[in-house]
Amino acid sequence: MEKLRVAVVGYGNIGRYAVDAVNGAPDMKLVGIVRRQEDVPQGVFVPVADDIGKLPNVDVALLCVPTRSVEEHAKKCLKMGICTVDSYDIHESIYELKTSLNQAAKEGGAAAVISAGWDPGTDSVVRAIMLASAPFGLTHTDFGPGMSMGHTVAAKAIGGVKNALSMTMPMGYGVHRRDVYIELEDGADFEKVRKDLLCDPYFATSDTHVYEVDDVNVLIDKGHGVDMVRKGGAGKTQNQFFQWKMTIDNPALTSQIMVACARAARRQAPGAYTMLEFPLIDLLPGGREEIIRALV
Amino acid sequence: MEKLRVAVVGYGNIGRYAVDAVNGAPDMKLVGIVRRQEDVPQGVFVPVADDIGKLPNVDVALLCVPTRSVEEHAKKCLKMGICTVDSYDIHESIYELKTSLNQAAKEGGAAAVISAGWDPGTDSVVRAIMLASAPFGLTHTDFGPGMSMGHTVAAKAIGGVKNALSMTMPMGYGVHRRDVYIELEDGADFEKVRKDLLCDPYFATSDTHVYEVDDVNVLIDKGHGVDMVRKGGAGKTQNQFFQWKMTIDNPALTSQIMVACARAARRQAPGAYTMLEFPLIDLLPGGREEIIRALV
């Protein structure tokens, strides 16, 4: 069997896990890592390049880069005929990314799977199943407990803050509390920092609790969670209840979903796809008959 | 917008709910019911026929018939160019049904969606998501509490049994207990019935509890449930935890999933498909952009 030749673009949090996930996939071969510095990180035994064009015969590129630079990287790969997978997570502009990459993908003759993570991503798929199963009713999504990257960055930007961690705490049925842990700069006043933070648009509309700590770093883990429930019905039937729950290592799950989507990318016609837009059997290794016999 | 013209074939437990679900779908029109007796059931205001050929311009037939007669009904419809949806539930022979209907579907120029219920069906889709998210590990599926049709029929066949109900009770991580409620025929001996039942191959391998009751019918509800968990990982990451849980009206959910799959059937190229083999966006009414903006 010809193995899928995969490159990991970006070697941050998700990129490191992606390397492990590709190495663990029986049908893939890691052909290289693309990062700005061409030096080889410890424990890496594949070519490292500062440009994907320098790696030989890449089938799929996993774009483990910041969300805001996904489009630029994806277009470059797609134009070279390399399929891409990203975990673009700005929900409001996913459709715009799809439109933009769809054109680039068709021009390059490759496929892009976009927003392939757990939310957006597998949670989106579960939402579709829930909605198909119960067309009327309400879906609520609780996130966490887990670190919010966006809110942590916002907290770090407040004057007097040396380091910060903003945790998303699920209070049930879609309401979240923010627990913010602050390490102060020398001489900073906690009460002033606290008030400034509570006025910040990131925190002003949520119940936010602020705590002063000596060392933020010892509080950080990469675990996260989801608890999504739908109560609804169809026809004359009420009160059908569905729940999807996960407790997971965040970057590890994101990168594994990207790896599964690399298979799907190679199996689609040129174009850009969200995870709702291709058959889910395309996520899995192995033959069609074998998968259907095992799962259906 | 042209509405999808849907016929309900079979007017038993699932067929009745299917009529309600089609009537509740904004993009569908119920064009008739097919049943052996051509008399019109109470509350039905559409044509009733004993042959699908007598209903005008059917796009999709929902085959709400016993599993063992699905293939025959499906082939008849497919050859007429009518798409079909069934909830065929004999897991061991789903692939054989697919192979058989795939040929008939291609010959007739229509699509068949097979095994479209909750298990097989949406549970199969969730299993695929779990496996893609954590390629190593274990998945356990607990069913119930809910009535097992097969075990109830087996219990009713024991000598001395007037009526019976076999409930599937989830004991956790894939182990089930059978609780069997027996209404005796006049003069039958409960101890003898109990022993005969425990020797029956349907019950011999499970922990089975048998109870004598005066009236089985008052114990029956159509509720059921699933609790499916996967604990596993990818790459070097262990202990990722996923859970899918439902508490549902069984025939109501089965029929609604069939209704959603009617949309998908019309959107596929001729052939036979399990729910793993078409994009899940095809289950939902409305435009592609609108769905992606709402769910992804």
User: pLDDT category, A51, cuts 50, 70, 90?
Assistant: very high
Q: Note whether B118 contacts A: Cβ–Cβ < 8 A.
A: yes
Structure tokens at A289: 């008959």
pLDDT beyond 80 at A34 = yes
Q: Note whether A295 contacts B: Cβ–Cβ < 8 A.
A: yes
pLDDT beyond 90 at A1 = no
CATH number at residue A280: 3.40.50.720
CA–CA distances in Å: residue A57 to residues A16, A32, A63, A81: 21, 10, 16, 10
Structure tokens at B252: 């109501």
CB B228 within 8 A of CB B127: yes
Domain with A109 in it: 4-120+250-295
Query: How many residue pairs bridge chain A and chain B with CB atoms within 8 Å of each other?
Result: 224
pLDDT beyond 90 at B44 = no
How close is the nearest chain B Cα to the Cα of A295, in Å?
Answer: 5
Q: What pLDDT, in 10s, does the model give residues B194-253?
A: 999 999 999 999 999 999 999 999 999 999 999 999 999 999 999 999 999 999 999 999
Using alpha carbons, select from B23, B39, B27 the residue that is nearest to residue B1. B27
Nearest CA in chain A to B130: A122
Q: Note whether B287 contacts A: Cβ–Cβ < 8 A.
A: no
Residues A199 and A57 both lie in one domain: no
Residues A111 and A194 both lie in one domain: no
Nearest CA in chain A to B293: A95
B245 in any annotated domain: no
| Predicted-complex ipTM score | 0.95
Domain limit, last residue, from B223, B242, B268: B223
pLDDT beyond 90 at B43 = no
A129 in any annotated domain: no
pLDDT beyond 90 at B9 = yes
CA pair distance A281, B128, nearest whole angstrom: 7
A127 in any annotated domain: no
Question: Quick count: other Cβ atoms within 10 Å of Cβ A172?
Answer: 10
Residues A22 and A57 both lie in one domain: yes
Q: Note whether B182 contacts A: Cβ–Cβ < 8 A.
A: no
Question: Quick count: other Cβ atoms within 10 Å of Cβ B295?
Answer: 23
CB A95 within 8 A of CB B293: yes
Question: Quick count: other Cβ atoms within 10 Å of Cβ B172?
Answer: 10
- Which residues of A fall within a CB distance of 8 Å from B234? 20-21, 24, 252-253, 255-256, 259
Domain limit, last residue, from B179, B207, B223: B223
- Which residues of A fall within a CB distance of 8 Å from B232? none
CATH number at residue B159: 3.30.360.10
Q: Note whether B210 contacts A: Cβ–Cβ < 8 A.
A: no
Domain limit, last residue, from A205, A223, A241: A223
Which residue among A98, A132, A291 sits closest to B284, beta carbon to beta carbon? A132
Residues A10 and A89 both lie in one domain: yes
Mean pLDDT of chain A: 96
Percent of chain B at pLDDT above 90? 95
A22 in any annotated domain: yes
Q: Note whether A233 contacts B: Cβ–Cβ < 8 A.
A: yes
Structure tokens at A11: 């070697």
- Which residues of B fall within a CB distance of 8 Å from A127? 295
- Which residues of A fall within a CB distance of 8 Å from B296? 91, 94-95, 115, 120, 124, 274-276
User: pLDDT category, B41, cuts 50, 70, 90?
Assistant: confident
pLDDT beyond 80 at B104 = yes
Which residue among A120, A247, A256 sits closest to B133, beta carbon to beta carbon? A256
CA pair distance A39, A49, nearest whole angstrom: 8
Q: Note whether A68 contacts B: Cβ–Cβ < 8 A.
A: no
CA pair distance A119, A84, nearest whole angstrom: 18
Q: Note whether A268 contacts B: Cβ–Cβ < 8 A.
A: no
pLDDT beyond 80 at A147 = yes
A237 in any annotated domain: no
> What pLDDT shows up at residue B125?
98
Total tally of structural domains belonging to chain A: 2
User: What pTM did the predictor assign?
Assistant: 0.95
pLDDT beyond 90 at B1 = no
> What pLDDT shows up at residue B278?
98
Is B128–A283 a contact, with Cβ atoms under 8 angstroms apart?
A: yes
Which residue among B129, B247, B284 sits closest to A131, beta carbon to beta carbon? B284
Phi/psi at B212 (nearest 5 deg)? -95, 130
Section B252-259 average pLDDT: 98
Section B30-52 average pLDDT: 91
> What pLDDT shows up at residue A41?
84
Which residue among B24, B128, B285 sits closest to A281, beta carbon to beta carbon? B128
Q: Note whether A82 contacts B: Cβ–Cβ < 8 A.
A: no
pLDDT beyond 80 at B87 = yes
Q: Note whether A259 contacts B: Cβ–Cβ < 8 A.
A: yes
Residues B70 and B148 both lie in one domain: no
Section A125-148 average pLDDT: 97
User: pLDDT category, B79, cuts 50, 70, 90?
Assistant: very high
Q: If DSSP states are collapsed to H, E and C, what string results for A46-82? A: CCEECCHHHCCCCCEEEECCCHHHHHHHHHHHHHCCC
Residues A25 and A169 both lie in one domain: no
B233 in any annotated domain: no
A106: left (phi over 0), alpha (psi -120 to 50) or beta: alpha
Is B257–A132 a contact, with Cβ atoms under 8 angstroms apart?
A: yes
Residues A146 and A113 both lie in one domain: no
> What pLDDT shows up at residue B39?
80
Tokens 């009733």 belong to B48
Percent of chain A at pLDDT above 70? 100
Nearest CA in chain A to B24: A235
Residues B66 and B211 both lie in one domain: no
Half-sphere exposure of A99 (CA within 13 A, CB side): 8
Residues B61 and B29 both lie in one domain: yes
pLDDT beyond 80 at B130 = yes
Residues B116 and B147 both lie in one domain: no
Residues B148 and B287 both lie in one domain: no
Q: What pLDDT, in 10s, does the model give residues A84-115?
A: 999 999 999 999 999 999 999 999 999 999 99
Question: Quick count: other Cβ atoms within 10 Å of Cβ B216?
Answer: 18
- Which residues of B fall within a CB distance of 8 Å from A291? 128, 276
CA pair distance B296, A268, nearest whole angstrom: 19
A238 in any annotated domain: no
Residues A25 and A76 both lie in one domain: yes
A257 in any annotated domain: yes
> What pLDDT shows up at residue A149?
85
pLDDT beyond 90 at A217 = yes
pLDDT beyond 80 at B192 = yes
